[in-house]
Amino acid sequence: MKIFLLTSTAYLKPIDVVGDRNSDLLKLINKYHKEQGLPVRLYKEDELTDEELEVFLSINGGECWIEGISHVVFDD
* For the chain, domain boundaries: 2-73
pLDDT tens digits along 29-67: 999 999 999 999 999 999 999 999 999 999 999 999 999
pLDDT band at 3 (very low <50, low <70, confident <90, very high): very high
Report the predicted TM-score, pTM, of the whole model to 2 decimal places. Answer: 0.92
pLDDT at site 42: 97
Strand partners, 3: 15, 72
